[in-house]
Structure 1
């Protein structure tokens, strides 16, 4: 099982990534900010005007007091605030959708550019959770949360500023009353990031275990592994439950304390404002306006507090999404293309992370156009050597070169024109057969490639393979057709025909041999009939090549290959 985990971006990297997203649409951001400022300013008019109306009613009667005009102005301020806020939200949502599309596109691009060795080592559930749950969380935040939070934040600043302008003493009292929200917010923020990162990791672990159990359902049934898989699944569920309860405990403290703090500034302003009014230092309208401003804080503060929790959750998701940027790209240091198609393996040793060497001092030369078969018992190191030849892994010591250039140093686009690895695991996309071939080629050439590998079932290139999924054997034929269309000079078949029945496998291998004439074919095979047709055979055992020669030569030696051949024929 894979043990490596993908990195998680730190706070500075997340902030820089957010800055790049904002800069990519800075015109829309600037207009949104301006509209929010204007909407917040319009919202300030109503409480101030209501205060003036109260002063006009409670003060000395003055002929022609403009109460009606003040009331009309209150209505105009409310309408202006509503229209400006609606326009700002509309632009904010559009910005969020465009930015969400950029995040999804960037994640897909980074995932597709991950080194093959990295993809093989990491837990597939982790990558799947980041590309689905985490990306959706970030996209939802950008679409729904950020516009609302920005509007609410602007309103809070303007409302607090308005109270300070009305009367500095009342403004200070209101700010002191809000200190409880600030304190509980700091307490929450110090703990929320790590808690939500743990929740994300637990979700990835659960997705991994569910995917592994589902994919291995037949194996579980055949070997009666129900109890062990239930134990593993329950442990993953328990971890997910613990992580979610931990974030729930944070919210159960954060929200009640914050909600209770709303009334403190209003009470302080009532007490201090009442004393100042009785002392004749301020008017009743000023006290009422200040209280109305503070009561107006409840709406935007509620918005901020509610969405702050989701912001913490989505920022943790954003850190996991941006973590892909921290994966070092595959080193590609080759300055020139290979001078020939000759493959050289010299003194190679290799070990998987945290394990012992699985290849020991391997030497091998593969001439251009040669058909080489690599055989041996399970665990002999055949597939590992195939991945080194394909540039998926880099040897710890020794070299693997093509035309004098290290295979692992070739850029991906050049590498796949040189060497293509075909394994037993083939992916079929929920697209048409034509789209699944993955190569821009004329229809006639696609049909010829399908006929060559014996895919008689693939007569209609417009067949939707999502609605009509192919069998395992048909998926392998599709993968072999992709190889023919890619047309590399070296093809490594890692038991690529294992799921075909013997007759179909034989026909496909013969067809490949005919089509790939003058090209190098390295077949890692468990069927010795494949080895029989090869130019040379390399026999591996315990990470070493212990025999090398033609079929007839190895049979006459009466060594390990001859023993395997006798066992194969019963």
Structure 2
């Protein structure tokens, strides 16, 4: 069976998958963090394995005694030693598995925390281009797939390796000849495993990537449900989903076929090892090369070898699935951050864009040579038709994206080279997509200002006209909101986001339809309230309601990725150009 053909239509903007070197480096990091617990698990199971070796040795001595006719008292002694060994083995096995479970949970917690910390620190532009489906798939599906590997595979694999070494050592001590017969199936084992593991890792990675692609398509379709319905794209989206599902299922079938070939071969190796030891060992006994007690012990040890070998192969196979998921998690750590320079500091508050060109894909620019000078404390409105590039320009001015060509500076310092924390402390972007975090209203507000007291929180809420509905809540600022809590309406969520903005206190704001979820009268009232709070700050507003442009100091009309007009409201109306036409149309609609 051939592997499925690689899809040529996969999203080019998906987050990277970690390289083998990066995965090994991260595994070493985890091993260093948890070396104490890992060593304890290995030591505890080592004791349990040694205790387990006592049983076959005792039975071999007993058989030897019976064969020579000196069995007096041997049975009682054998039973005593066997029960003692069984008790020790059970106790230390339980202890090692307990410590192994704790180790697995600690490692899994580290994985989740490392992934979350890195995901939150990703450049916003990277996340916007990659979309949410891929990141969500890594944080959910890949973590779930890793949970079995981390909780069980890693400790069980370590335990199996220790058991294999000790059992082989005991077999060599018992009879070197029997040790040779026990590994007669080794060539077949190595050949089949080599065949399998040359194909499995990439197949599992492709399977994970296929699932992520399905997740991405479904997320995009749900998010854009109204657009899909309006433009009658349902059939296209269904066909795309079916194609992605077919690609994913093809990889699922291929990995299942690999396992269906490999597993029976491994079972045949186990049978060959025990059968070879029994048959050849019997011949060795008949020739007097080994005793019957050695044969008994050797056969039992050979049979005991199948347990750890089976565990090693089974869990190593599980680790192939885990490795593919781990590579996807580690890939988030390999996202290249913009080349920033900690020594870059702004000297002032002037925002300037100089001959800026930008495109989301190579060779397809959205902005074409835009230049804009925003004086400190001024209010600039960006207006123009949908798709003209207003929001893209706003993200460049907020430092979310870096220009492909040209420069965007704050106080003479390049926003692209400035550390993200420094940019966010000075420039904030607020758009129509707002999130209410799980917790109290107070917790949500303090995300922007952790040290703010209730008086400051109330002042910020009043500034965005949210004080009235917050007072109406039974528990006020202590009301639990977000998933499982009180449901906020979209306008209330928008006001909450604007209150966070007031608390964050940046000196430059980029507002992209920041009041779009409010009705026009409420939005106008809110903007007037905010104007008092934002007095003295630089405000760049992407305006769809032209009363925002009317109140601005300067208006930039964006058409086709270029600024076609620039000036104050009276100047542009008097010029009779594109802005004047937009203004007349908007006034007529009202």
TM-score range, shorter chain: over 0.9
User: Separation in 2 of the partners of 1:305 and 1:220?
Assistant: 47
TM-superposed CA distance for 1:536, in Å, is 0.9
TM-superposed CA distance for 1:3, in Å, is 4.0
> 1:130-141 maps to which residues of 2 (within 5 A)?
130-141=138-149
User: Separation in 2 of the partners of 1:179 and 1:34?
Assistant: 31
Decide whether the 8 Å contact of 2:350 with 2:410 is kept in 1.
yes
Instruction: Tell me the alpha carbon deviations over residues 281-325 of structure 1, each in whole angstroms, 9 at most, x when there is no partner.
Output: 211111111111111223333333332322110111011111111
User: Separation in 2 of the partners of 1:486 and 1:3?
Assistant: 35
User: Separation in 2 of the partners of 1:320 and 1:514?
Assistant: 48
1:7 to 1, 7, 16: 16
| Partner in structure 2 of residue 189 of structure 1 | 197
| 1:463 is the counterpart of 2:465 | no
Of the structure 1 ranges 429-438 and 550-559, higher mean CA displacement relative to structure 2 is found in: 429-438
User: Separation in 1 of the partners of 2:159 and 2:12?
Assistant: 44
User: Separation in 1 of the partners of 2:11 and 2:298?
Assistant: 61
User: Separation in 2 of the partners of 1:342 and 1:454?
Assistant: 30
| Partner in structure 1 of residue 267 of structure 2 | 259
Decide whether the 8 Å contact of 2:30 with 2:107 is kept in 1.
yes
| 1:276 is the counterpart of 2:284 | yes
> 1:127-166 maps to which residues of 2 (within 5 A)?
127-166=135-174
1:502 to 520, 524, 544: 520
Decide whether the 8 Å contact of 2:344 with 2:417 is kept in 1.
no
TM-superposed CA distance for 1:65, in Å, is 5.0
Decide whether the 8 Å contact of 1:85 with 1:151 is kept in 2.
no
Going from structure 1 to structure 2, the CA distance change for 1:73 and 1:97 (only over 3 Å counts) comes to: same
Decide whether the 8 Å contact of 2:62 with 2:293 is kept in 1.
yes
User: Separation in 2 of the partners of 1:391 and 1:360?
Assistant: 18
Of the structure 1 ranges 536-545 and 437-446, higher mean CA displacement relative to structure 2 is found in: 437-446
Decide whether the 8 Å contact of 2:105 with 2:151 is kept in 1.
yes
SS of the residue corresponding to residue 92 of structure 1 reads: helix
| Partner in structure 1 of residue 348 of structure 2 | 340
Decide whether the 8 Å contact of 1:53 with 1:67 is kept in 2.
yes
| 1:299 is the counterpart of 2:307 | yes
Instruction: Tell me the alpha carbon deviations over residues 11-34 of structure 1, each in whole angstroms, 9 at most, x when there is no partner.
Output: 232122111111112111222221
> 1:132-531 maps to which residues of 2 (within 5 A)?
132-437=140-445, 438-439=447-448, 440=450, 441-455=452-466, 456-459=468-471, 460-465=476-481, 466=483, 467-531=485-549
| Partner in structure 2 of residue 55 of structure 1 | 64
Decide whether the 8 Å contact of 1:100 with 1:142 is kept in 2.
yes
SS of the residue corresponding to residue 408 of structure 1 reads: coil
1:21 to 19, 30, 48: 30
Of the structure 1 ranges 71-80 and 301-310, higher mean CA displacement relative to structure 2 is found in: 301-310
1:100 to 94, 108, 122: 108
TM-superposed CA distance for 1:429, in Å, is 1.9
Q: What RMSD in Å do the two structures reach over aligned CA positions?
A: 1.7
User: Separation in 1 of the partners of 2:226 and 2:159?
Assistant: 54
User: Separation in 2 of the partners of 1:54 and 1:179?
Assistant: 32
User: Separation in 2 of the partners of 1:263 and 1:151?
Assistant: 23
SS of the residue corresponding to residue 539 of structure 1 reads: strand
| Partner in structure 1 of residue 3 of structure 2 | none
TM-superposed CA distance for 1:527, in Å, is 0.9
- Structure 2: tracts of 5 or more residues without a match: 1-9
SS of the residue corresponding to residue 330 of structure 1 reads: coil
SS of the residue corresponding to residue 228 of structure 2 reads: helix
Going from structure 1 to structure 2, the CA distance change for 1:42 and 1:137 (only over 3 Å counts) comes to: same
TM-superposed CA distance for 1:336, in Å, is 4.2
Of the structure 1 ranges 246-255 and 472-481, higher mean CA displacement relative to structure 2 is found in: 472-481
User: Separation in 2 of the partners of 1:351 and 1:311?
Assistant: 40
SS of the residue corresponding to residue 184 of structure 2 reads: helix
SS of the residue corresponding to residue 537 of structure 1 reads: strand
User: Separation in 2 of the partners of 1:311 and 1:317?
Assistant: 9
User: Separation in 1 of the partners of 2:521 and 2:12?
Assistant: 38
